[in-house]
Amino acid sequence: MINTKVKVLILRVAGTNCEYETKFAFELCGAHVDCLHINKLIVTKTKMFEYDILVLPGGFSYGDDISSGKVLANELKNILGDQIRKFALSGKPIIGICNGFQVLVKMGLLPYSDRCDQVSTLYYNDSGQFECRWIYLRIEQESNCIWTKNLPNIITLPVAHGEGKFIPINIQLIDDLNINHQVVLRYSSQDGNIPDYPLNPNGSISRIAGICNKQGNVFGLMPHPERYVLALQHPVRNNVKEEYGYGKIVFQNAVNFCK
């Protein structure tokens, strides 16, 4: 019998620690998921194209030595860069969550997948400490990001990072991201107002919490949608009527896109 399920590849290395939560999230959406070590892809570079979706999950890849995600970003760009770029430009969905976002930015796949040049970074939080809590996010409804369709204007997700401050190479990049509708998520207050710390947990420029490429298939974000796929994962569970959290919508969007 032919397996018609959408196939998801979660890439892991030493220090990855969110792969199983992410695997659960995609399986909840009806996908088939494999967690593969990067060495398996290096040996067989074409194996990546057996999958419909590529995931760089959260964690502390290679201990986040040098800076968060930089070692893995260099490894991917120098060894698997052509394959990942081809995967992205084919329109297949790619998501980088937290450490995965840092990797996508530092290898240059975001925000311009066709260039693969680093034009931004994710730097140390303004607070000088690891920020771990639930925050509010505003969904930029004009974005063409395939991952965030059907989400309400304001959602809540948890963050857990020490280097989440989005910094562009220059202010023109922010203008370009806004013009091209590549900003997907911004830190927000519950009523949608512009927040200061702690609602903006890292001091990110223009309150950016997530961006996509121009095509909308490559998505990077600092918050963790895989930690809120079930409603009961939310710390405030009074009068829970829904079965699922906002995170499930994110993963379901990508699975539905590939069907």
30: region left, alpha or beta (phi > 0 left; psi from -120 to 50 alpha) = left
First to last CA, the chain: 18
Catalytic pick from 29, 145, 226, 234?
Answer: 226
* DSSP states of 109-138: -SS-TTT----EEEE--TTSS-EEEEEEEE
132 assigned to active site: no
CB atoms within 10 A of CB 25: 28
Tally of CA atoms within 13 A in the half-sphere of 54 that contains its CB: 29
224 assigned to active site: yes
Contact status, residue 122 vs residue 68, Cβ threshold 8 Å: yes
Tally of CA atoms within 13 A in the half-sphere of 62 that contains its CB: 16
Catalytic pick from 18, 29, 98, 258?
Answer: 98
Contact status, residue 28 vs residue 248, Cβ threshold 8 Å: yes
| CA gap 128, 131 in Å, rounded | 9
H-helix or E-strand spanning residue 156: strand 154-161
Catalytic pick from 75, 145, 224, 234?
Answer: 224
226 assigned to active site: yes
| CA gap 23, 209 in Å, rounded | 22
Query: Tokens 């809540």 belong to which residue?
Result: 156
* Catalytically active residues, by annotation: 98, 224, 226
